[in-house]
A = this chain, B = another copy of it.
Amino acid sequence: MEARKPKQLFIQGAISSSFIGDSIQKHSSRHDIGGHSIFLGQVRADQVDGKTVRAIEYTSYEDMALEKMHEIREAIFSKYDLSCLHVYHSLGTVEVGEICLFVFTSSAHRKAATEACSELVERIKAELPVWGKELFDNETHQWKINK
């Protein structure tokens, strides 16, 4: 089998609900798929010392992130019996209530899609060189920390 090429990973700004709907629609031609699992990260209006997060500004070491994502994809495809796998992450500013991460897995039987989706989210947060700067309503900021 030919090696999979690095795929698009980054989207400028928020990921729209119509983009997500369209991605789902595209899979209707895949008659071997029985289940899809989707995770969406949404920007939360966290309160910190009386200030409220109004947006997160994402930056990345893009070249490295693309290579790492390619490596993660290959590992997940080897481990789970998946039909499809898509990951999109925002760069730039994403306002509260908007979507910043879209992970989408599909398989014949639900277990592979569900488990692969969870593992992908964990690996993306731990291994992709992406940074979130939380912008507060008073023009200050703090750097996001992943737990």
Binding site for B on A (CB under 8 A): 17-18, 20-22, 24-25, 27-45, 96-99, 106, 108, 110, 114, 118, 121
User: Do A36 and B36 contact each other (CB < 8 Å), given the known contacts A24-B20, A31-B97?
Assistant: no
User: Does the CB pair B35–A108 fall under 8 Å?
Assistant: no
Distance, CA A114 to CA B35, complexed state (A): 15
Q: Which residues of B contact A96 (CB under 8 A)?
A: 31
Report the minimal beta-carbon distance from A96 to chain B, rounded to whole angstroms: 5
User: Does the CB pair B35–A41 fall under 8 Å?
Assistant: yes
Q: Which residues of B contact A110 (CB under 8 A)?
A: 39, 41, 121
User: Does the CB pair B41–A38 fall under 8 Å?
Assistant: no
Given contacts A24-B99, A28-B98, A31-B97, 14 further A-B contacts (CB under 8 A): A17-B24, A20-B21, A27-B97, A28-B42, A33-B42, A35-B41, A36-B38, A37-B38, A38-B38, A39-B114, A41-B110, A42-B106, A110-B121, A114-B121
Distance, CA A21 to CA B40, complexed state (A): 12
Report the minimal beta-carbon distance from A117 to chain B, rounded to whole angstroms: 8
Q: Which residues of B contact A45 (CB under 8 A)?
A: 31-32
Q: Which residues of B contact A21 (CB under 8 A)?
A: 17-18, 20-22, 24
User: Do A40 and B36 contact each other (CB < 8 Å), given the known contacts A17-B21, A24-B17?
Assistant: yes
Query: What are 5 A-B residue pairs whose CB atoms fall within 8 Å in the complex?
Result: A17-B25, A21-B21, A31-B45, A37-B39, A114-B121
